[in-house]
Each structure stands twice: as C-alpha cells, then as structure tokens.
Structure 1
Amino acid sequence: MMDLLQSALAVLYIIAASQGFFLTLLLYRSKLGDHQANRYLCLLTLLFSLALVDYAADTAGLSEQWPVITTLLWPKEFFYGPLIFLYCIELTRPSPSQLSRRQQLHFLPGLLHIVVTWSLLVLPQDTQQLIIGLDPIVFDGSANSHGLSYSQLVIAWLLDDFETVLAFASIAIYLGLSIWHLKRYSISILNNYSEIEQINLSWLKRLLISLLTIYLLYVVTETLLRGWMEHVLGFSMLLLIYLMGYRGLQQPEIFKARNPSEPVPASSDLQPEPTEETTPAMVVESKYAKSAVDAEMSGQLIREIRQQVEQRKLYLEPQLTLTELAYLLSLPPHYVSQAINEQTGNNFFDFINSYRTQAAQALLLDKEAALTVIEVAMAAGFNSKSAFYTAFKKHAGVTPSQYKKEHLK
C-alpha cells in the first residue's frame, strides 16, 4: 500500500513539474506584463519545477540508484529568496535595468553551493550517497569507518544540517525583505498617484505573506514531524509560486504608460509609519524638517492647489498624478506633496479622492440625473466600482447606497 502511495506521489510531482515547465516557457516567451521582472519569475518557476523532479526521483527511489540526480539538482535553495526579492524590486522599478554588481552578490551563496555540491560529481556513486545523505553517517569522529576523508566528512556536514539551517534562514529573510519592500512601495504610490488599483501589487503582497506563513509551517514539519504533512505544505508552496507566475503574466508594467520624465516614487517620498511615540503630525514635521518650504509658504501653496483642483475639476481625471498637478502649478512635485501632507494630513491619493467623494455625494442626491452607482463612480473620477466604494466609505463614513438612503428621505 505504501509503495502505491509513493508511486502516486511521484506521479503527482512529475505532473506538477510539467505544469511548472509550461509556465516557465510562458513567462520566457510572453510579451505581456513586465518582461524584465518576469525573467526573475521565469527562473524561479524553473527552479521549483526542477525541485519537483528531484522530489519525484527521491520518492520513486531513483536517487538511491543514481545519486547523480540529487547531486545535480540539489543546489537551488539559495536562489529562491534572491529571485523573489529581485522580482519585487524590478516590478516596482520605473524602467528596466541591468543586474548591478551589488545585486549579483545575492547569488553568491547559491553559486558557492553549486561549486561545493557539483564537486562531488567526480567521486564514485557510493561516496556521493554517503556525502549527500542518502546513506546515514554517524559523526563519531572516525573518518576511516565510513571510507571518507576528513575533508569529505566536512562537506557532508556542510550539506546536511548546516546547509538546511542556512537555506531556511535565507528564504525566510528574503521573503521578509520582499514584503517590507512592497510595504514601502505602497506608501510611496499613495503620495504620487490618485488611482492605484492596477499598480498597488496587493495580490503579490498577499501571496508573499501566505508563502512565508506556509514556509514557516513547512520548516516546523520538516524539523519536528516529518510526515505526509511535509508533502502537503510543499505542494501548497509550489501552488503559490505557480499562482505568482500566472498572476505575474497578467500584471501590466506599472510605469509603462507614464511619461519617462515623470519622477518615480523614491525612498525620499517614503515617510515612517506612526508609532505609539510618533504622531502623524510629528512624522510630517520630521520628514520636512530640512525643507525650503516653511509653514507660511505651505499654507499659501495649499490654497493655490485647492484653487486649481476645484476650479479646473482636476479630480475628475482618473489618472491624475502628483507630477501632473505640480506641472500645472509650475511647482516642484515635492513642494506640492509637502503642502498636501502638512496642511491636510492626507497623502495625494486621499486628498484627490476626498474631492471625488464630494462630487459623488452631489451626484447621488441629484434626482434629475438618476445615475446608477457605477455611473456616479465614473462621473466622479473613479476608475472602478471597488475603488469608489473603498474611497467613499473612508471619506463619507458610509457606503454610497447608505448615503443616498439617509439623505433622500
């Protein structure tokens, strides 16, 4: 019965690997989405597919007959984290770029892992089996009892517990860094765009959080339980990676439609999140402590900003950006951003959507217009029904339907 289950599991691994190779080919050849970022995603799905082939060989007992399979496919764990992290970096970058020397260092542990592991290929198969753990080794201080040299015993130890701990730590750290980067990016786009539904990458952030959660559970089961739960969690992680790949194909280039001269949200646009010790006012004050715009000038600027936005009804433009507003005012974008932050306590996104909400409120109460909710949303400058409901509830405190019901009694 167990042999049947093992065979079935090996077949499932091969089927999943085939799907992974297909997805890798799609990512490689597709012209959709962010091509540069998808290169990293392509390599990631390829590595996970190769991992499935390795699992299938191990489950079917082929690794014991041909340890070269495990030796060739083993060094991949240290590439998972860097590829996910660099995918997030590239996806939020304003223009495609070559891999910098600093970024190349992310792959150094993986390359070292390859050098150490593939050096075993010159050894006899039974020696490879001992070193890579297919046959258990008791580290009793005696090398001769295993027929291994001391240097080979050291390599065996490095490729066993030591490598496992480092690999677990590497993936967890890079997943954490990726989530942190996306969180900073989310803050940045709120200060620069009035419509973010297509560029907020919330899907990716949720996927990474799920992946990190499942991975931590996998570490626990791998360390303590070691059973079928290990395979269940492993398949869950693979499912999320493949889902990331297919979703990555659909994600449009974030900055493709923007003017090349338009500045990109940078780290300087990011403000620290308020804590128990720091209020929002303190955060804004700290952010602009060295700015050339003083409080008096900031107050004057917000009056000019409001005048332009209200008279020209700029909020009705769904794709309005901070740079476009600054251009109309003949002001540097960071001056406009500072005035909005300091004088209203809002970011650019909420500032513009508050005007859109006011316009929607008027349209909802216009009996002659008799517009549907989605028509009101579009007429007020929103790009989708979901964005409209979210903004309306935030600024009006109720849903559009509740607001209409309360005021048309």
Structure 2
Amino acid sequence: MNDAPDLIMNWRSAMMVMVVLPLLLCGLILLLRRVEARAARPLGLFLILGGLSMGPQIIGFAGAYQIWPWLTFCPLFFVDLWLGPLLVIHAHNLMRGGPLGWRRWLLLPGLLQTAYYTGAFLLPGDGLFDTPAKWAFNDAFHLPYIIPMESLLGIGLFGFSIVLIWRGRGRYLTFLDQTQSAARDFDPVWLRNLIVAMSIGLTIYAGLEILSLAVALSYPATFPALLLLTSVLTWVGLDAAWRLTAPFPKMDIAAPAPRMTVSDNHALPDDLSARVRSAIIDQRWYLEPRLTISDVARRLGTNESYVSRALNQSLGDSFNRFVNRARIDHAKALLETGEGSILSMAMDSGFNSKATFNRVFKTFTHETPTQFRNRRRASDLQSEASQSP
C-alpha cells in the first residue's frame, strides 16, 4: 500500500495558474519583439521571472512539497533580487539607450541569489536532493541568516529601482517636450503605471517579508496578497505589450537642448526666431506628424540648441507646445468650416491618432473637438436666427 500524498490541483493553485499564464505569455511576447528589442527583453524577462516566483504557491497548494521536499531550494522560484534591476535596465534602454554603465552592477545581487540557491538545491548528502544535510543547513544557516538578509536587500533594491525609474521618466518627459512634436505619442504613460504597480508590489512584498520574519505565514494566509501582486504584474505586462509597438526617441542619441536664459552669453543668429516661426508656421511644417527639433535645425542650417533657444526666449514656448499650438489652430479652423470626421481633421492637422488629438486639443482649449464644433455650430445657428427678419 502506497501512503505517499497525491499531487492535487486545488482551487488556489488553479487561480494562481490562471493569473500567471498570461504573465508568462506577455513576457514571451516581449522577449520575441523586434521593435525596441533592447527595452522589451529585460521587461519580458522581468515578467517571466515574476511568474516563476509564484511557483512555490502554485505547487505548495497542490501538495508538491510533501512529495518532493527538495523543491524548497529550487533556484527558479527565488528571483526577487532580479526584478527591480531588470526594470531599471528596461527603462534605461527605452528612454536613454547607450551603454548601461554602472546599472549593470545592479544585476549582481540577482546573480548571487541564483548562485546561492543553485548550490543549496544541489547540496549533496545521503541522496542528491532530499537529504538530512540539506535540512541541517536550512536550520543552521539558511533560515536565521540568509532569509532576513535576502528580505531586507530585496526591499531596498526594489525601492531604489522605483526611485531611479521615476526620476528617469521625469527627465524623459522634459526631453520629449523640448525635441518632439509628437511628444504625446512617445509619453511612456505605462511606465507611470509600472511605477504604481511596483509601489503596490513593494508594499505587499515588504509587508509579507516583515510578517514572515515575525511569524510563520502559511500559504493560505499569503494567498490573497500574492494573487493581487501577480494580477498587478499581469496588468503591467499587458499594458507594455500593447504600447511597445514603435521605436522611442532616445535621450543619448539626441540629447535635449537645455533651456537657456536671456542672459546667456552666446547670442542667437540674426532673425533666427523669425526664421523658425516662418518655417514651422508659414511653410506648414507643423503638419508633419513626426516633426522633430533636429528636423527644423537641419533644414535651417543651424543646431538644435539655437532652435530651442529661439522658441524658449523669443516665442516663450517649448518646441512641442509651439508646434501643437499651430496644429490646434489649424484644427479649429477645420472644425469651424468643415463637415468631415474628427479623425480626418486630426490627421489633416498633423496628429497620428484621434486619441492624441483629443488630449492635446483639450489641453489648449479646455474642451474636446466635438464640444468645440457643437458649440460653434450652436453659436452660428443662434447668430443666423437673430439676423432673420
């Protein structure tokens, strides 16, 4: 008679699998993506490792540890020190490009963690895996020393990663505003969502780790929090896979021109401000959806810094706001006189999508294009009615 426990896929394991599978699929999609591959691959690896880190809960609820106790040290399940650094590398490759520099050292804790758990997993004894020596090592060294150190390092590394990404995104938004007419199209909104997700994840992770140091938490006690954390990671994965479909401008490739003050010692070339304004407005360059400050500088035979200063000092606008203001003026004229669709007017005004057009239009006019057109039509009808005998 065999008294060994059976492996059972209960409802908790099934729910975790249902949440983890989309996470793994998003990670695989990003790993294979050719557009922005250097940014997509670290994020794809992050999602896959995040899914694998839920392995102990999935197999634990199914009773796998009672059948194969040696899985306790499986290195595939202990990857939390990789997660924050992979996101930092992803954000760097997305927004800056160029060499990683000191950021590569952030991967060292993850490498050490994987090496440690691989060694503990293969610790020999009476048998290759399930041995008395392994559990003596666990009680004497792993639980009292490694687990607390690993928990504190994981919380600190994840928090540091959040700060780096937040600051990097702020600089990137400034760069887009100074150099890209289609800044809204390249705004990594989902990176903001990623920061929110990471903050939620860090809070959950820190809470569980602190509680686990004080009391022994059972799998059922941690299940709701881990299910929420996995769902958040899945949301991030879906959001990223949806939005990473075009190359992003890189700060290291085309560094943003700094804001200059009137007191700057280097004078602008004569009439440059008028030339910039005339070229963008009178020659209707603003209707080009992907117009950049480097395009303008190259066509005028000058450099980006001078063009940026001409806009900032003489015209009082960033490049993005100046171009989009011209686009909105053009769109307002179309809305007042035309009968076409909002989408066609958006495209005719230099925008790449209706969604971007709506956001920019509301930023400048405090109403949507539809509201603007309806209001003008109502005003025209009222004016005609008042003039009728």
TM category (shorter chain) comes to 0.7 to 0.9
CA-CA distance at 1:336 after TM superposition: 0.5
Q: CA RMSD in A?
A: 3.3
Per-residue displacement from partner, 1:181-207 (whole Å, max 9, x unpaired)?
122212211111111343211123223
Q: Is the 8 A contact 2:26 2:47 kept in 1?
A: yes
Per-residue displacement from partner, 1:293-327 (whole Å, max 9, x unpaired)?
33xx3783222211212220111112111111111
Q: Is the 8 A contact 1:299 1:343 kept in 2?
A: no
Cα distance 1:166–1:389, how it changes in 2: closer, same or farther (>3 A)? same
Cα distance 1:359–1:23, how it changes in 2: closer, same or farther (>3 A)? closer
Among 182, 188, 204, the alignment partner of 2:169 is 182
CA distance, structure 2, for counterparts of residue 220 and residue 344 of structure 1:
51
What residue number does 2:291 align with? 320
CA-CA distance at 1:18 after TM superposition: 4.3
What residue number does 2:386 align with? none
CA-CA distance at 1:239 after TM superposition: 2.6
What residue number does 1:89 align with? 92
Among 212, 216, 220, the alignment partner of 2:207 is 220
What residue number does 1:237 align with? 229
What residue number does 1:361 align with? 332
What residue number does 1:279 align with? none
One-letter code of the match for 2:230? Answer: L
Among 196, 220, 224, the alignment partner of 1:209 is 196
One-letter code of the match for 1:47? Answer: L
One-letter code of the match for 1:293? Answer: H
What residue number does 1:103 align with? 103
What residue number does 1:378 align with? 347
Runs of 4+ in 1 over 6 A off after TM superposition: 3-6
In the alignment, structure 1 residue 128 sits paired with structure 2 residue 134: yes
Cα distance 1:309–1:29, how it changes in 2: closer, same or farther (>3 A)? closer
> What is the DSSP-based 3-state SS (H/G/I as helix, E as strand, rest coil) of the residue aligned with 1:191?
helix
CA-CA distance at 1:86 after TM superposition: 0.6
What residue number does 2:12 align with? 9
In the alignment, structure 1 residue 157 sits paired with structure 2 residue 130: no
CA-CA distance at 1:362 after TM superposition: 2.1
Per-residue displacement from partner, 1:99-148 (whole Å, max 9, x unpaired)?
6563331111112223333333325434434554xxxx6xxxxxxxxxx4
What residue number does 2:247 align with? 254
CA-CA distance at 1:174 after TM superposition: 0.9
CA distance, structure 1, for counterparts of residue 144 and residue 224 of structure 2:
28
Q: Aligned residues: percent identity?
A: 22
In the alignment, structure 1 residue 264 sits paired with structure 2 residue 253: yes
Cα distance 1:49–1:129, how it changes in 2: closer, same or farther (>3 A)? farther
What residue number does 2:321 align with? 350
Among 340, 355, 370, the alignment partner of 2:311 is 340
Cα distance 1:12–1:371, how it changes in 2: closer, same or farther (>3 A)? closer
One-letter code of the match for 1:113? Answer: Q
Among 161, 186, 194, the alignment partner of 1:199 is 186
CA-CA distance at 1:361 after TM superposition: 2.1
Q: Is the 8 A contact 1:88 1:178 kept in 2?
A: yes
What residue number does 2:47 align with? 45
Cα distance 1:293–1:388, how it changes in 2: closer, same or farther (>3 A)? farther
What residue number does 1:78 align with? 81
Among 361, 365, 370, the alignment partner of 1:396 is 365
CA-CA distance at 1:80 after TM superposition: 0.4
CA-CA distance at 1:229 after TM superposition: 6.8
TM-score (norm 2): 0.79
One-letter code of the match for 2:352? Answer: N
Segments of 5+ residues of structure 1 without an aligned counterpart are: 138-147, 272-283
CA distance, structure 2, for counterparts of residue 328 and residue 109 of structure 1:
49
CA-CA distance at 1:353 after TM superposition: 0.7
Cα distance 1:361–1:14, how it changes in 2: closer, same or farther (>3 A)? closer
Cα distance 1:319–1:100, how it changes in 2: closer, same or farther (>3 A)? closer
CA distance, structure 2, for counterparts of residue 23 and residue 395 of structure 1:
37
CA distance, structure 1, for counterparts of residue 365 and residue 78 of structure 2:
55
> What is the DSSP-based 3-state SS (H/G/I as helix, E as strand, rest coil) of the residue aligned with 1:198?
helix
Alignment length, in residue pairs?
360
CA-CA distance at 1:341 after TM superposition: 1.9
CA-CA distance at 1:46 after TM superposition: 2.4
One-letter code of the match for 1:240? Answer: V
CA-CA distance at 1:167 after TM superposition: 0.8
Per-residue displacement from partner, 1:156-201 (whole Å, max 9, x unpaired)?
4332222111112211221232232122212211111111343211
Q: Is the 8 A contact 1:214 1:233 kept in 2?
A: no
Segments of 5+ residues of structure 2 without an aligned counterpart are: 1-5, 126-130, 383-389
What residue number does 2:114 align with? 114
> What is the DSSP-based 3-state SS (H/G/I as helix, E as strand, rest coil) of the residue aligned with 2:74?
helix
CA distance, structure 2, for counterparts of residue 166 and residue 398 of structure 1:
48
CA distance, structure 2, for counterparts of residue 59 and residue 378 of structure 1:
54
Deviates more, 1:312-321 or 1:168-177: 168-177
One-letter code of the match for 1:302? Answer: S
Q: Is the 8 A contact 1:24 1:45 kept in 2?
A: yes
CA-CA distance at 1:358 after TM superposition: 1.4
Q: Is the 8 A contact 1:193 1:348 kept in 2?
A: yes
Per-residue displacement from partner, 1:278-305 (whole Å, max 9, x unpaired)?
xxxxxx53xx87x5533xx378322221
Q: Is the 8 A contact 2:197 2:236 kept in 1?
A: no
> What is the DSSP-based 3-state SS (H/G/I as helix, E as strand, rest coil) of the residue aligned with 2:71?
helix
CA distance, structure 2, for counterparts of residue 269 and residue 66 of structure 1:
60
